[in-house]
């Protein structure tokens, strides 16, 4: 049965806009929480699709059509983590910027959530590695749900703030899916099986989540169809396949996943609009997970979202897994005014679709 979690925060009527709620003292339990700062970090190294295709052709001895990867995906370049850069590295760099923008020190945090499809190690939680580097002592944990991890992490932080379990949370992601790309397929079948991996790019992102007096995260909805989990993923490192290089590569059928998302994803968007009464023109930006440019074009076609509401990153940065929405938010956050609304639309293997409506305080 599909999972359908929904929660809507009440609006504050005509109360004056006062921004964040102080975390110190004996303030009552928060009734709303929101994003008060955002940041992203991109590795310096850029890899073009032409360079990637040349590497694949040379390693596999395959003669591929000219510009095949770029023409199929719409991706010209993507970033790749360098030597000594890990998921935690990208997360920490984004985190430091987010904290500086929020005028907070690591010691001001009481919750740190590392929310990513990538991790540094199987154990312990990568959140501890991030925290040790930052120098904070907050409650630290990992949240993982494929490309929806970051949005799930924000929702987790919000829930803990509303429950009175936290006051200031840092949610971070660091994604290095480029390290799960098969650069030397044994033949056409293996090339096809791993082709979705050629969309991957690396990135980090971070947000600060705090109690706010007005606005904040107004609505969250998800739908999950877990029967589709075998359609794609990286299956190594767990109890099923603890060792062996074969399972450390991404494999899956991107076209089947796209069909699954189209089949049930529109329902989540329809529910959100019906429940909130908001139309596309009510959002300053619509941030949607981007796998390929053709898939983004299909999203626009199916939903009717005006293209000028999108923040298009996939041609230059590829599919950054859960960091995609964080990078998009970083690009627009500084230009938002109080009262501007942003819609997050997450798509994650497994498979799940998630929406989050956020209003800047």
Give the C-alpha separation, 268 to 284, whole Å. 20
User: Under a CB-based contact definition with an 8 Å cutoff, are residues 38 and 93 in contact?
Assistant: no
pLDDT tens, position by position, 81-116 = 999 999 999 999 999 999 999 999 999 999 999 999
- Is the pTM value of this prediction over 0.85? yes
Report the pLDDT value the prediction gives residue 248, as an integer from 0 to 100.
83
- pLDDT-based confidence at 23, cuts 50/70/90? low
Domain range 216-359, CATH architecture: 3-Layer(aba) Sandwich (3.40)
Position 307 pLDDT exceeds 60: yes
- pLDDT-based confidence at 16, cuts 50/70/90? very low
User: Under a CB-based contact definition with an 8 Å cutoff, are residues 51 and 249 in contact?
Assistant: no
In the chain, the percentage of residues whose pLDDT exceeds 90 is 76
User: Under a CB-based contact definition with an 8 Å cutoff, are residues 293 and 75 in contact?
Assistant: yes
More reliable by pLDDT, 251 or 2: 251
Q: What are phi and psi of 42, to 5 degrees?
A: -115, 135
More reliable by pLDDT, 19 or 238: 238
Q: What are phi and psi of 283, to 5 degrees?
A: -105, 130
Report the pLDDT value the prediction gives residue 17, as an integer from 0 to 100.
38
Report the pLDDT value the prediction gives residue 246, as an integer from 0 to 100.
80
More reliable by pLDDT, 6 or 62: 62
Give the C-alpha separation, 361 to 358, whole Å. 9
Annotate 100-169 with three-state secondary structure.
HHCCCCHHHCCEEEEECCCCCCCCCCHHHHHHHHHCCCCEEEEECECECHHHHHHHHHHHHHHCCCCCCE
- pLDDT-based confidence at 327, cuts 50/70/90? very high
The structure tokens listed for 260 are 């699954």
Report the pLDDT value the prediction gives residue 24, as an integer from 0 to 100.
56
Listing DSSP states for 177-192 in one string gives GGGG--SS-SSHHHHH
- pLDDT-based confidence at 4, cuts 50/70/90? very low
39: Cβ–Cβ under 8 A, 6 or more apart, which residues?
Answer: 94, 95, 96, 97, 98, 101, 205, 206, 207, 330
Position 165 pLDDT exceeds 90: yes
- pLDDT-based confidence at 6, cuts 50/70/90? very low
Position 22 pLDDT exceeds 70: no
- pLDDT-based confidence at 170, cuts 50/70/90? very high
- pLDDT-based confidence at 8, cuts 50/70/90? very low
Report the pLDDT value the prediction gives residue 20, as an integer from 0 to 100.
75
∠ at Cα 153 (309, 136), nearest 5°? 120
Q: What is the edge-to-edge ordering of all strands in the sheet holding 285-288?
A: 6-8, 216-224, 352-359, 341-348, 285-288
pLDDT tens, position by position, 57-79 = 998 888 899 999 999 999 999 99
Position 300 pLDDT exceeds 60: yes
pLDDT tens, position by position, 203-233 = 999 999 999 999 999 999 999 998 888 888 8
CA distances from 56 to 59, 80, 122, 316 (A): 5, 16, 29, 20
Q: Which helix (H) or strand (E) holds 8?
A: strand 6-8
Position 1 pLDDT exceeds 80: no
Report the pLDDT value the prediction gives residue 360, as an integer from 0 to 100.
98
Q: What is the mean pLDDT of the chain?
A: 91
- pLDDT-based confidence at 7, cuts 50/70/90? very low
Give the C-alpha separation, 301 to 332, whole Å. 23
Mean pLDDT in residue range 24-45: 87
The structure tokens listed for 46 are 């850029």
Report the pLDDT value the prediction gives residue 257, as an integer from 0 to 100.
80
Give the C-alpha separation, 153 to 159, whole Å. 10
pLDDT tens, position by position, 245-287 = 888 888 787 778 888 888 888 899 999 999 999 999 999 999 9
What are the sequence ranges of the domains in the chain?
A: 216-359
């Amino acid at each position: 049965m599909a999972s359908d979690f929904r929660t809507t925060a009440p609006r504050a009527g005509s109360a004056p806009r006062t921004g964040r709620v102080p975390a110190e003292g004996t303030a009552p339990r928060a009734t709303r929480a929101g994003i008060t700062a955002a940041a992203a970090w991109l590795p310096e190294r850029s890899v073009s699709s032409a360079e990637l295709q040349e590497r694949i052709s040379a390693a596999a001895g395959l003669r591929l059509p000219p510009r095949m990867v770029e023409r199929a995906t719409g991706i010209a370049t993507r970033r790749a983590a360098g030597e000594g850069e890990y998921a935690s590295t990208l997360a920490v760099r984004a985190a430091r910027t987010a904290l500086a923008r929020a005028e907070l020190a690591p010691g001001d945090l009481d919750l740190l959530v590392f929310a990513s499809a990538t991790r540094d190690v199987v154990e312990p939680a990568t959140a501890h590695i991030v925290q040790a580097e930052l120098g904070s002592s907050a409650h630290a944990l990992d949240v993982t749900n494929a490309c929806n991890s970051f949005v799930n992490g924000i929702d987790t932080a919000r829930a803990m703030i509303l429950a009175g379990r936290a006051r200031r949370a840092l949610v971070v992601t660091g994604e290095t899916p480029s390290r799960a790309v098969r650069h030397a397929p044994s033949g056409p079948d293996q090339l096809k099986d791993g082709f979705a991996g050629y969309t991957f790019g690396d990135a980090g992102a971070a947000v600060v989540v705090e109690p706010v007096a007005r606005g904040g995260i107004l609505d969250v909805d998800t739908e999950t169809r877990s029967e589709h989990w075998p359609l794609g993923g990286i299956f190594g490192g767990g109890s099923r396949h603890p060792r062996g290089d074969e399972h450390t590569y991404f494999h899956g059928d991107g076209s089947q996943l796209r069909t699954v998302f189209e089949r049930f994803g529109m329902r989540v968007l329809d529910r959100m609009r019906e429940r909130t009464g908001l139309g596309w023109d009510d959002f300053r930006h619509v941030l949607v997970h981007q796998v390929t440019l053709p898939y983004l074009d299909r999203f626009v076609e199916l939903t009717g979202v005006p293209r000028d509401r999108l923040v298009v990153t996939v041609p230059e940065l590829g599919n950054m897994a859960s960091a995609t929405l964080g990078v998009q938010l970083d690009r627009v956050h500084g230009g938002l005014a109080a009262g501007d609304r942003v819609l997050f639309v997450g798509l994650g293997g497994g498979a799940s679709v998630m929406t989050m409506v956020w209003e800047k305080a």
